[in-house]
Structure formats: structure tokens, C-alpha cells
């Protein structure tokens, strides 16, 4: 899962470079923190493609999922 996540994160950064969608600094920071960790990529994709103010709760959910995953490993 880690390698798939890394390639997805790199794809998001690449797409943002070409303005396919705009990464806010907040989202970019979160993605960089998650590069080596398993997270629910669907939540991140939804967060990146929605309004910034809808992104914040989505990332709280992603962080909650991440915390749970780390506790259960």
C-alpha cells in the first residue's frame, strides 16, 4: 500500500503543477506528511477535488483514520 500511496501523492503533486486542480498550502502540507504512511486515498482525493472549506472536515476524518490505523498495527 505504501508504494501505491506514494505514487498517488506524486500524481496529485504533478497534476497540481499543471493546474488540473489547485493544492492549497494546507493540503500540500498534509499530503507531504502522509507520503510514507497508509491513509485512505479516497478521502484525500475527495478533499482535493472539493471546496477548501469542505476539505478541512475531510482531512480531520483522514487523520482520524490514520490514527486508528497506527494504533491497530
Per the structure, the count of domains in the chain is 1
Residue 20 confidence class, pLDDT cut points 50, 70, 90: very low
Place of cell 479516497: 42
Alpha helices in 1-73 (DSSP H): 2-17, 25-33, 41-48, 52-72
Q: Is the distance from CB of 61 to CB of 31 less than 8 angstroms?
A: no
Residue 9's CB is within 10 A of a number of other CB atoms, namely: 18
Q: Is the distance from CB of 66 to CB of 34 less than 8 angstroms?
A: yes
Q: Round to whole Å and give the CA distance between 3 and 26.
A: 23
| pTM confidence score | 0.27
pLDDT in tens, 50-68: 655 555 666 676 677 766 6
pLDDT in tens, 28-45: 666 666 654 555 566 666
User: Which domain range does residue 65 map to?
Assistant: 2-72
Amino acid at each position: 500500500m505504501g508504494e501505491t500511496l506514494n505514487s498517488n501523492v506524486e500524481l496529485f503533486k504533478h497534476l497540481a503543477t499543471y493546474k488540473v486542480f489547485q493544492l492549497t498550502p494546507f493540503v500540500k502540507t498534509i499530503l507531504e506528511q502522509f507520503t510514507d504512511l497508509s491513509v485512505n486515498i479516497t478521502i484525500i482525493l475527495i478533499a482535493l477535488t472539493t471546496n477548501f472549506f469542505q476539505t478541512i472536515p475531510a482531512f480531520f476524518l483522514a487523520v482520524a483514520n490514520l490514527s486508528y490505523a497506527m494504533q491497530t498495527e
